[in-house]
Each structure stands twice: as C-alpha cells, then as structure tokens.
Chain A
Amino acid sequence: AQRVTQPEKLLSVFKGAPVELKCNYSYSGSPELFWYVQYSRQRLQLLLRHISRESIKGFTADLNKGETSFHLKKPFAQEEDSAMYYCALSGPDDYKLSFGAGTTVTVRA
C-alpha cells in the first residue's frame, strides 16, 4: 500500500530563516512525487514535482530513495510562503494522487 507521511502539522519560522518540510513515503516501486500548496483563500496548486528537478519560488525538494523521503526546503522563508503544504505521490503508470496530512507553515515577520 502506498502512504505519505508528513510528521509536522504546524511549522512556524521567522522571515529569512530556513524552512524544511518533511515528507516520507511508502511505495513498492518508483513513485512520482509532488508538493502541492494551498495559500489562504486560493485553490490547491502544484508547487513542484521531483521529475522536473526544478526550483519554484525558491523551494527545492530532493528525492532520497534510500530514506524514502522528499523533503521540501527553502533557505530564506518569506511571509508569502505562509500556506498549507501537501506532499503527494502517484504510481508511475497511475494518475491517482495519495496525499499526506499536510503541514501548515506560518512565517512570522
């Protein structure tokens, strides 16, 4: 069975400080991994996915197959980064997404 675990429900950091959101997964095979974000009063949207190896809004995420993790990082948090973040995975030949419980990030001035 596939599972996504986000151990932190809440994360509070100061503006300019580094922020790391943890995500661990369980999947028998090679999954596709994603981070989705939901800003206040906005709809859920894709932040980044591991196959693209891209940096979006200063965020990066590295897939560690040995530790089955896909942690999201940003070296200098901004107030506009305050949001709910979801880690998600899908199978390589699948479209269904399995989401973690989500982490609410608050960036304080």
Chain B
Amino acid sequence: NAGVTQTPKFQVLKTGQSMTLQCAQDMNHEYMSWYRQDPGMGLRLIHYSVGAGITDQGEVPNGYNVSRSTTEDFPLRLLSAAPSQTSVYFCASSYRRRSGETQYFGPGTRLLVL
C-alpha cells in the first residue's frame, strides 16, 4: 500500500494564480482532511470529508475549495493564491469507525506564493 500520497511536493505560485493540490489514499478510509502547517501555529484544519460526496469546513477554510467524488481522492483547490497561503499542506485520512482512530498523514506539499 502506498498509504496517503500528495502531489506536488513543492510548488511556487504567483499571487492570483490558482492550483490544485492532489491527495489520494489506498486504504479505503472514509475520513479525509487537509491541514496547513505554519511555524508557531501547529496544524490547522482547512476542510474535511467523512465520505464521498460529503465535505465540510474546518478552522481556516477561506480561499480553499474541496470536493470528494471518490473515496480515494480529496483534492484541495486554491482559487486565487495569496502570500498568506504560503505554507506546508498535509492531507490525512482515517477510518470512520469511531473517534480516536489513527490518522495517517501524507508527506506534505510545500507551497510558496510570491
């Protein structure tokens, strides 16, 4: 199993550009989520999904869109990139049997917005 995969590993954008960060998992996990990691702030939840066709906002959703058309994929879209979105982005997934399930993280995407 590849686990949770993310592409690209690194990306540079100009202000105003749009892009999609890809996330995929092959563990048949129902729950998937996106976090951003910023120094001194830990990881903050952007959006999450409890299954195909179901998404919801996390703590910092502004400027990001998500969709979940399949169980495996959970892409994160930046609509119009801003320097404040410079960060490291992590995708995570877990089973949905109960709370307290281990969440499995991808390797991260480092994004720089100029």
Please give the residue numbers on chain A whose beta carbons come within 8 Å of chain B beta carbons, in ascending order: 4, 6, 9, 32, 34, 43-46, 49, 51, 86, 90-102
Contacts and interface: CB of A to CB of B under 8 A. Distances in A.
A104 B45 CA distance: 21
Chain B: interface residue count, which band? 20 to 34
Contacts, number: 59
B98 to A, nearest CB: 9
Contacts of B99: 32, 90-95
A84 B106 CA distance: 16
A91 B101 CA distance: 12
A95 B96 contact: yes
A105 to B, nearest CB: 15
A90 B94 CA distance: 13
A5 to B, nearest CB: 10
A100 B41 CA distance: 7
Interface string B87-114: 0001010101001111111111000000
